[in-house]
Structure 1
Amino acid sequence: MSSDDYLKGRGAQKNTPNQFLQHVYEMREDFLEFCRLEGEEAENNKTQYIPIFPKTIVNKVDSPDVGMMFSMNPYQGCEHGCIYCYARNAHEYWGYSAGLDFERKILVKKSAPELLEAKIKHKNWKAQTIVMSGNTDCYQPAEQKFEITRKCLEVFLKYRHPVGIITKNALVLRDLDVLKELNAHRLVAVNISVTSLSEQTRRKLEPRTASIQKRLKTIQVLSENNIPVNAMLAPMIPGINSHELLPLAKTVAEHGALSFGFTVVRLNGAIGQIFTDWIKKAMPDRAEKVLHQIQDCHGGTINDSRFGLRNRGEGKIASQIHDMARLARQKYFKDKKFPILNKELHEQYKDGQMRLF
């Protein structure tokens, strides 16, 4: 495949078939050649924002190895285009592909703040940290237009409810005023994803995300305002970024992160096809080596569904990654402690104001 054929600005290079649909849409070579000769685009590469109207917004997380109990996602699909993203498979439930559709068809939940408010006001609800972006990034480019995440943060503040945030976008600093108010009551923690220190690697893996320098600056600014930050050095992909774990950990610690987490990449569901197609086009010289090393971490397959092992990996390569992580915690995070969020205030604020009687 020539560089002219590579779809720049996107992670996935094709739409994979949706496992839930009977019919498969396929772009044939003769049609593509016709479009080329006629000077026409074979398909529209622009991002579409599609409103949807869910009945609920807070999801209970049943997976025992995820590290969260409840999550919410103001958007489905994500324009960031991270090629390895586990959330791609969820797009198939909406009738779309986990490939390019995931990046170009963004489902927008404008009613999220109202649904959230109804949930945490319910008489039977007991405060538990709700994580924004358990699936797709709540500060992806769509947030600049719709501001749903900011409105949800204002709901959390109004009801003094703990909230976690996972993002790789510097747009989170736009809401520093609300975050500072939440943090005054120990109600917020932010997880910033930093996958590489190389801009070249970042652009290939995560084409529409904030630059590495912007993410490091985001960690620094949040930390300077005493907002706790955990760095997500994930996923570690053998042959691409796994060798960076120690310098990554050192750098995020120097910028103020109180802790870090990581996973070993796994390519579940349609992501296996999407990643394999992508790496053979984006990194043809090392594609087979990387794929074989990922297989080595998951018992000979690129996918792994075993709870407890699927995100940790196994085998020699995975063990080396875990050894580096242990060393990084000893060297750079020994005297740092990540705080526990406050669940005690919410009950007093369920009606929107402090109870006086």
Structure 2
Amino acid sequence: MQLPIPKDRRKGRAATYNPANRFDRFSSVAEDDGWDIEEEVPPLRTTVTEEVPRRVITRNTSPDIPFDRSINPYRGCEHGCIYCFARPSHAYLGLSPGLDFETQLIARPDAPEVLARELSKTSYVPATIAIGTNTDPYQPIEKDRQIMRRLLQVLSDFNHPVGIVTKGTLIERDVDILASMAERNLVRVGISVTTLDPKIARAMEPRVPHPKRRLQTIKRLSEAGIPVRVMASPMIPALTDHELEPIMEAGAAAGALAASYIVLRLPREVSPLFTEWVEENFPLRAHRIMARVRELHGGKDYDPQWGQRMTGQGEWADLLRARFRIAKRRYGLDKPLPELRTDLFCKPPQKGDQLRLF
């Protein structure tokens, strides 16, 4: 494994280094050139490049995911959550799942127009589109680029249902569109609250809003009539698992109507990245945390088997599942939410279209 990048260069970042891209035949390692000359190396800055997509709706057939299509306005995520299971996807771009994932971002500014074209096809059959399941649509760069807001406007114009997952409080900016869609039962929002401890949150997800601020977002969306689910995800054994009930209680108090949880997942490069991070930030608990993670996944850092990759296996997983069921009933988060509507879907009038007589 590569040596960690100095802390002063990665301030505000979670990953400690850049693992080699698994698709590259060669890898580079920084070495001292032998000259006794101090060189000032700048901190890692966020850079954004643009991509022109041919299509934006991604399909999946995963049996344990409740949607078959999704949209990602951005690739990479400045929130920098160390546990993010989407990190390995950056390797497909020729970049590292480590610090590159947090600092070298890809924006898709034409995504709303491409989406409108896809929804306009006569063969298109509507079903809920998920946004935010890979990288966060409300990460900091959305403030200026507003790709997510324009995507929402397209979905609203087509009366198309959407499910949103985010940690970003910037979603409050779009309450006008979301409230209108909620009146037509076209939207649900999941707000992820991984911990209520601000110190752990700052280390684990360095550019995500404070936990209390996310709870305030749940309250503001709920007051606007938008159905919100509090997501205690991921649950990290021996670090945040004891907070399952407090997170659910706080979410319910803020107005959440439902709840969910997922256990920590460490696919591919995420495993060594998380291990290095936990050893640096919680050295006295690192062995216990990783031992419990392996207990969850059949003795491995991660088991991708359908049906248990998100809930884990073994006694600890069974206990967490039972605690979650009890807490849902206790805090009134066990009521099923109505299915989002697809019967309202229609192509909005376009300039030049013939007017309808009836």
TM bracket, shorter-chain basis: over 0.9
Distance 2:35 2:131 in 1: 44
What is the CA RMSD across the aligned residues, in angstroms? Answer: 2.2
Q: Which aligned pairs between 1:207-226 and structure 2 lie closer than 5 A? A: 207-226=206-225
Which ranges of structure 1 fall in alignment gaps of 5 or more residues? none
Q: Which amino acid aligns with 1:40?
A: E
Q: Which amino acid aligns with 1:135?
A: N
Q: Which amino acid aligns with 1:210?
A: P
Q: Which amino acid aligns with 1:8?
A: K
Per-residue Cα deviation, 1:207-260 (whole angstroms, up to 9, x for no partner)? 000111110000001111110001111010101101100111111011111111
Distance 1:3 1:126 in 2: 48
Cα separation, partners in 2 of 1:324 and 1:12, compared to 1, 3 Å:
same
Distance 2:14 2:254 in 1: 28
User: Greater CA deviation, 339-348 or 83-92?
Assistant: 339-348
SS of aligned partner of 1:253? helix
* Residues 1:173 and 2:161 aligned together: no
Correspondence for 1:40: 40
Correspondence for 1:271: 270
Q: Is the 8 A contact 2:5 2:16 kept in 1?
A: no
SS of aligned partner of 2:234? coil
Q: Is the 8 A contact 2:78 2:139 kept in 1?
A: yes
Correspondence for 1:19: 22
Q: Which amino acid aligns with 2:219?
A: Q
1:88: how far off? 0.3
**Residues matched between the structures, number:** 353
SS of aligned partner of 2:188? strand
Cα separation, partners in 2 of 1:174 and 1:338, compared to 1, 3 Å:
same
Q: Is the 8 A contact 1:73 1:138 kept in 2?
A: yes
1:298: how far off? 0.4
Per-residue Cα deviation, 1:52-89 (whole angstroms, up to 9, x for no partner)? 11211001122111222110000000000000001001
Distance 1:356 1:225 in 2: 36
* Residues 1:10 and 2:13 aligned together: yes
SS of aligned partner of 2:86? helix
Distance 2:357 2:310 in 1: 47
Q: Which aligned pairs between 1:180-329 and structure 2 lie closer than 5 A? A: 180-329=179-328
Cα separation, partners in 2 of 1:350 and 1:84, compared to 1, 3 Å:
farther
Q: Which amino acid aligns with 2:213?
A: K
Distance 1:103 1:335 in 2: 35
Correspondence for 2:95: 96
Q: Which amino acid aligns with 1:260?
A: A
Q: Is the 8 A contact 2:120 2:347 kept in 1?
A: no
Distance 2:166 2:182 in 1: 17
Q: What TM-score, normalized by structure 2, do the two folds share?
A: 0.94
Per-residue Cα deviation, 1:267-305 (whole angstroms, up to 9, x for no partner)? 111101111111111111111110010000000011111
Distance 1:84 1:122 in 2: 38
Q: What TM-score, normalized by structure 1, do the two folds share?
A: 0.94
1:336: how far off? 3.6
Distance 2:118 2:5 in 1: 49
